[in-house]
Structure 1
Amino acid sequence: MSKVMAPLRWLDRVLHGLRRITLNLITLGILVAIALALFKATQHPTVPDQAVLVVAPQGHLVYSYSEGKWQRAAGALLDRPPNEVLIRQLTAAIDRAATDPRIKLMTLNLRQFQGGSLTQLEVVARALTRFRKAGKPIYAYADSYSQGDYLLAAQANHVYLNPLGAVLIDGYSDYQPYFKTLLDRLGVAMYAFREGKYKSAVEPFTRSDMSADAREENSAWLQTWWSSYTANVAAGRKLKAAQIRAYAEQLPMLTQTAGGDTARLAQEQGLIDQIGTWHTFAKAVATAAGRSPHSIDYRAYDAATAKPPEGSAAIAVVPIDGMIVGGATPIPGAVVSGPTVAQLDHLLHDPTVHAVVLQVDSPGGSVDASEDIRAAVLRLRAAGKPVVVSMGTLAASGAYMISSAAQTLYAHRTTITADIGVFALVPNFSGAFGKLGIAVSGIGTTPTAGTASPMMPLNPALGAALQSHVSYLYRRFVDQVAQGRKLSFAQVDAAAQGRAWSGEAALRLKLVDHLGGMPEALADAARLAHLKPGSYRIDYLPRPDPGDSLGDLGGHLALFLGTSANSDPLTANLAIANLLGMHTGELRNAMLLLRSARPYGYFAYAPVVVPR
């Protein structure tokens, strides 16, 4: 027997040794990769003289990264191309380069750019304009220009287009799917309770088309966007806004007249300067740069020229970026109340933080979650720490509820804000069950026990109670805004009604204080905190991360896999969808709404389909 077992024991030792060697090699490989990444991160790039600043953004514009730092580090190790372009990093690099004698010109390569909202694009466009006004030329290139791409390209001195490309401008729209007919066919009824004439978030479930009120609301901010876009493009190209509008309105006919040669059409319309391939463009840049052109990517330039934080006092910038939901576990791309409140309360007790700026880009969401975050903002103010809001593309509904608690509100002209209204949705699947031959029967201890179940029609008394509570929440919302904005209830109620306003209109209605962006908000926060220039630093805080320390390996692994110890399957699906790049769009927001609606939820949410 021992003779038979001896070879097996020998094989076991061999396999055990091979397993150890394999695991050691894998571990060594990971450690080497981490060491290389750390070494690369600590290298301080240098800026050559007479250099070309290369701006080639990959992905879409964001105010804050949706992924944590360790996720981004893992992506870099795996050579995963970036899909988010941090606006403040891009604009800061451009602005420093504008006054840097070592930078001669800029190339703006938009071939892998995925755009952003008009509000985001205009921030970058203004930085490009400042660079150009500093006397430094910009050379722009794309195989084809989308509407968003072209807003940036229009700020360049020299705009190149591939011979087979086009400049595609068609205006702005807000189209979304309506599910009423489908739900009727499936036997699913949606009970909708809302307060606010324009609160249209329930319409996709209760109608088959956009209501007249929603059309009125959306038309107003869409026209603001379109007029702002055409004015910016016209200024960059030294054309009239009417010419840009005519091009967009007549593009199909103009294309036919040009025999389908869209590149030549764009040149004849004054939208581009040169038609050529990438090789043609590169030769032109090389000629402009000189005999031995050097180049530096804007991210490397930012790393080489960014000044280290100064001063013991700090202004903390907190991202309120994404849909607002309740919970205790961070969700990539969303604002979860528990971690956000913890982040704000930490600043409350941090003696180095003298003021807080909320960088808001959110359509709102759960009323309860918004209320929790708003209360944390008020605690900061009660402690004597000023809070200023810088609105991005969206600061609507629940996000505006939070914002109205701050001392000063800044919005861009094209920001979509306010949307002061509340709604609740309760589904009824009894019709669908009936079609499948499923009956629901039972008994309860009271007349209303179990009647909120989606398995049966909603009890009319409970429906009346739900509407009463929605009305109460609306009055409370209006009253909170009235107190925060120092307006009468009647003034806010007249501007509310669930209507989203442009930043320009919100300023007229006194729902915001100033038109401006992050620089103006930071300067105001410093003034309110009595901080002198040069005596403070700005701390841009990341979104809360499930694993916020290197030692929390379980948290990082859970985040990477899209799960966590206390997450439900829906949360896991959202995280997985985020890893796959499916972190935007109405479907994801609908999933987040459903996550918060257990057994039913109340929402202050604006269903705006932000055009790109």
Structure 2
Amino acid sequence: MKFLASIFGKLGTILSNLRRYVAHILTVLVIIFVVSAIFSPSEEPEVPEGAMLVLAPKGTLVEFRVSEDPIQKAIEEALGNAAPPAESLYELITTLEQASQDDRISGLVLELSQFSGAGLNKVTLLAEAIQEFKASGKPVYAMGSNYSQSQYLLASQADHVFLNPLGGAMLEGFRSERPYFAELLEKLKVKVNVFRVGDYKSAVEPYLLSEMSDEARENLSGWLNEQWQQYLVTVQDAREISDRMVSGNFEDFLAELEAADMDMAMAALNTGMVDELLHREEMRERIIEVAGRDDEHHSFVQISHRTYWQTLPDSVTNQNFESNGSDQQVAIIFAKGTIVDGSGLPTEVGGDRLASELRDARFDDNVKAVVLRVDSPGGSAFASEVIRQELLNLREAGKPVIASMSSVAASGGYWISAGADEIIAAPSTITGSIGVFGLIPTIDETLAEVGINFDGVSTTNYPAFSQTQPITPELGAVVQASIDAIYDDFLDLVGEARGMTRDEVHAVAQGQVWSGERALELGLVDTLGTLADAVARAGELAGLESPKAKWPSYEPSFMQQLFADLGLGQSHAAMPEVMGQMREAYLIFNQFNDPRGAYVRCIECE
């Protein structure tokens, strides 16, 4: 006992000393922060006269970027699960709007090598902003070694598209594929008990089949082809490209490639996709002819879009500059990510968290209307209904609600949208997927193969609801009846919201996915438009003379601000990539947390 006491005593001393060391380190960091804040000169960036604005987005696009918690960010990075980089679509579009009117800016350069793409409607909005910049009369250049399809959608809007002679660009169309596990599950003797309604709710197919069903293929091809045609319209409105490069026929592409001696870059030049084949230094020299030379940096006179953003006044960069203090606010509330029960992660739509935000808006006297911006493939049926009920409460309180659909508002995303007074979608929005499914995997046969069996007793004769026991026909019938009931509820709430009969809703439901344009024709949305259109419409319904958009805000704590100012939480992931992948798989699995195991989720829309 004395030996153990000695061990624990020494351990306590070590922990006590460690605690003091950590406290000392934090104190030193605070002192460094305060001293640097006092004595470090704060230099405001300046816009060089005649500079080219360099738009170089990194990662994907997000419609709203709430200030990140640097402490949480550091933890996520340490776990190998750091979020990919993202650019604020609002900041990019606003930057272009301001630069087009700024006499110090002589033109625009698109440097897209680190842009990884985004939902079609988001990229299209940015492309339209580039077109508006070009309409100011200032030249637009695109520089690229290679162009992905998302990158080319933006590059095609430029006056001059440069491509490296060793690069390439190809319009190969959109593709959607997914793994199918039926054969693997059969070999492992894992039985996935599936419960669903409708022929098109294909989320469960990977567990039942080895290939896509005809119904799923038909529906997927329909909306994917619509999106591709919308992409081509945006590109071809900006550039005259050979018909053979946009025909979608691989033989046509091969013919152009053979005519260019199998040179991808030359084929892009010959078919009008690009204007010149230039190496990087040659690209810079072309732009120097217009913007002048920066001898210090050995390039053209320029300013990055991030630095330019810092030069703009608070009245431009603060999205709530006009709404602060206003009693005619239209609150914009975001529902982005998979819908889960509870609070969820920042990257998810936590049913309880979003319901709380809607409730706050209901009791905020300055908020007169709400725009729910939906960018979600759905998820938990229970959480979706929790959110919809809060939308109904808002409307009962006399505050109009507009559902504004972003890239995806399908299944549960449509469920919550149906709670609004009106629905506004983008032409390329992926929506619909009105259907329900449930999954209960059982591994009793798998365990039996290795000699493991489960047995026990119960105080009732209710069948076991366990992954280690087979699902009895009686229990399966109860679960299917529950799924059927939720589907009926889905049909009823859509029918009531859209003024349609149950049969009319069922005809366009059953898990079928639609584009925003097609959804308008089917009566599932009221009109096509943007987030700004939704804010204006919400203000109109509320009878506001001067509606002001109120965006979400985030106030960091002192420690969070300290971490941010010291640059913590900005390093690369410390743990191996595989750890991040394992954690991501766990997070996806954890999203299936509906209390009843019923999901209104469009897997293929994600």
Structure 2 length normalisation: TM-score? 0.85
The more displaced of 395-404 and 48-57 is 48-57
**CA deviation profile, 1:542-583 (whole Å, cap 9, x unmatched):** 6xx8xx651687xx99xx999xxxxxxxxxxxxx99998769
* Alpha-carbon contact 2:408-2:605 (below 8 Å) kept: no
The answer (yes or no) to whether the contact 2:147–2:168 under 8 Å persists in 1 is yes
Is 1:603 the counterpart of 2:605? The answer is no
- Three-state SS of the structure 2 residue aligned to 1:286 is helix
The 5-angstrom pairing of residues 241-320 of structure 1 reads 243-246=245-248, 250-252=252-254, 254-255=256-257, 257-290=259-292, 294-305=301-312, 307=315, 308=318, 309-311=321-323, 312=326, 313-320=328-335
1:540 aligns with one of 524, 530, 551? 551
Q: What's the counterpart of residue 104 of structure 1? A: 106
Query: Residue in 1 aligned with 2:10?
Result: none
State the one-letter code of the partner of 2:373: Q
Partner of 2:459: 445
Report SS of the residue matched to 2:109. strand
Distance 1:578 1:415, change over 3 A: farther
Report the CA distance shift for 1:358/1:17 in structure 2 as closer, same or farther (over 3 A): closer
Q: How does 1:133-172 map to 2 (within 5 A)?
A: 133-172=135-174
Cα RMSD over matched residues?
Answer: 3.5
Distance, in Å, in 1 between the alignment partners of 2:46 and 2:402 is: 36
Closer, same or farther in 2 for the Cα pair 1:355/1:416, shift >3 Å? Answer: same
Distance in 2, Cα, partners of 1:132 & 1:459: 66
- Alignment of 1:431 with 2:445, yes or no, is yes
Residue deviations 1:379-418, cap 9 Å, x none?
A: 1111111111221111000110100111121111111101
Mean CA deviation greater in 100-109 or 252-261:
252-261
In the alignment, residue 402 of structure 2 is paired with which amino acid?
Answer: V
Are residue 392 (structure 1) and residue 388 (structure 2) matched?
no
Distance 1:109 1:37 in 2: 34
AA matched with 1:129:
Q
Q: Does the CA contact (< 8 Å) of 2:409 and 2:432 recur in 1?
A: yes
Mapped partners of 1:279, 1:126: distance in 2: 29
Q: Please tell me the residue identity of whatever aligns with 1:460.
A: P
Q: Which amino acid aligns with 1:110?
A: L
Change (3 A) 1:19 1:462: closer
Change (3 A) 1:186 1:37: farther
5 Å matches for 1:297-446? 297-305=304-312, 307=315, 308=318, 309-311=321-323, 312=326, 313-328=328-343, 330-446=344-460
Deviation at 1:125, TM superposition (A): 0.9
Counterpart of 1:517 (choices 530, 543, 558) is 530
Measure, in 1, the Cα distance between the counterparts of 2:579 and 2:346: 12
Code of the aligned partner of 2:600:
A
Partners of 2:301 and 2:206 in 1: how far apart? 54
Counterpart pick for 1:591 among 589, 592, 596: 589
Residue type at the aligned position of 2:219: E
Tell me the secondary structure at the aligned position of residue 447 of structure 1: coil
For the residue of structure 2 that corresponds to 1:467, the secondary structure is helix
**Pairwise CA distance, 1:53:** 1.2
1:56–1:109 Cα contact (<8 Å) kept: yes
Following the alignment from structure 1 to structure 2, what is the Cα–Cα distance between the partners of residues 41 and 214? 61
> C-alpha distance in 1, partners of 2:35/2:509?
55
How far does residue 38 in structure 1 lie from its aligned partner after superposition? 11
Equivalent residue number for residue 6 of structure 2: none
Structure 2 counterpart SS, 1:608: helix
User: What is the percentage of aligned positions where both structures have the same residue?
Assistant: 35
Q: Distance in 2 between matches of 1:323 and 1:438?
A: 36
**Structure-2 separation of matches of 1:578 and 1:603:** 30
Cα separation, partners in 2 of 1:64 and 1:226, compared to 1, 3 Å: same
Q: Which digits, 9 at most, give the CA deviation of each residue in 1:457-509, with x for residues without a partner?
A: 10111111111111111111111111112222222122111111110110001
Kindly provide the CA deviation profile for residues 340-390 of structure 1, in whole angstroms up to 9, marking residues without a partner as x. 111111111111112211111100000000000111111111111111122
Partner of 2:483: 470
> Are the structure 2 counterparts of residues 36 and 379 from structure 1 closer, same or farther at C-alpha, using a change threshold of 3 Å?
farther
Residue pairs, 1:70-85, within 5 angstroms: 70=70, 83-85=85-87
- Confirm or deny that 1:89 pairs with 2:74: no
Determine helix, strand or coil for the equivalent of 1:139. strand
- Specify the SS of the correspondent of 2:238: helix
Deviations 1:506-562 (A, max 9, x none): 000110111111121121122222223xx44322216xx8xx651687xx99xx999
- The unaligned stretches of length 5 or more in structure 2 are 1-15, 295-299, 570-574
Pair 265,492 (structure 1): closer, same or farther in 2 beyond 3 Å: same
Identify which range, 245-254 or 349-358, moves more after superposition.
245-254
Structure 1: state its 5+ residue gaps.
1-15, 563-575
Distance 1:584 1:159, change over 3 A: farther
- Conservation of the 8 A alpha-carbon contact between 1:58 and 1:82: no
Partners of 1:170 and 1:385 lie apart in 2 by 46
What is the match of residue 3 of structure 1? none
Question: Superposed, which structure 2 residues align to 1:112-127 within 5 Å?
Answer: 112-127=114-129
Q: What amino acid does structure 2 have at the position aligned with 1:68?
A: E
Change (3 A) 1:108 1:582: farther
| CA deviation string 1:421-472 (max 9, x = no partner) | 11111111011111111112222223324x2111011011111111111111
Q: What TM-score do you get using the length of structure 1 for normalisation?
A: 0.84
| Cα distance change of structure 1 residues 245 and 118 upon mapping to structure 2, 3 Å threshold | farther
Determine the structure 1 residue equivalent to 2:210: 208
Separation in structure 2 between the aligned mates of residue 581 and residue 86 of structure 1, nearest angstrom: 24
Distance 1:106 1:72 in 2: 36
Asked if structure 1 preserves the Cα contact closer than 8 Å seen for 2:141 and 2:161, the reply is: yes
In the TM superposition, residue 190 of structure 1 has moved relative to its aligned partner by 0.6
Letter aligned with residue 144 of structure 1: N
Q: How has the CA–CA distance of structure 1 residues 584 and 604 changed in structure 2, closer, same or farther, with 3 Å as cutoff?
A: farther
Q: Return closer, same or farther for 1:377/1:155 CA change in 2, 3 Å cut-off.
A: same
Cα pair 1:67 1:333 within 8 Å, conserved: no
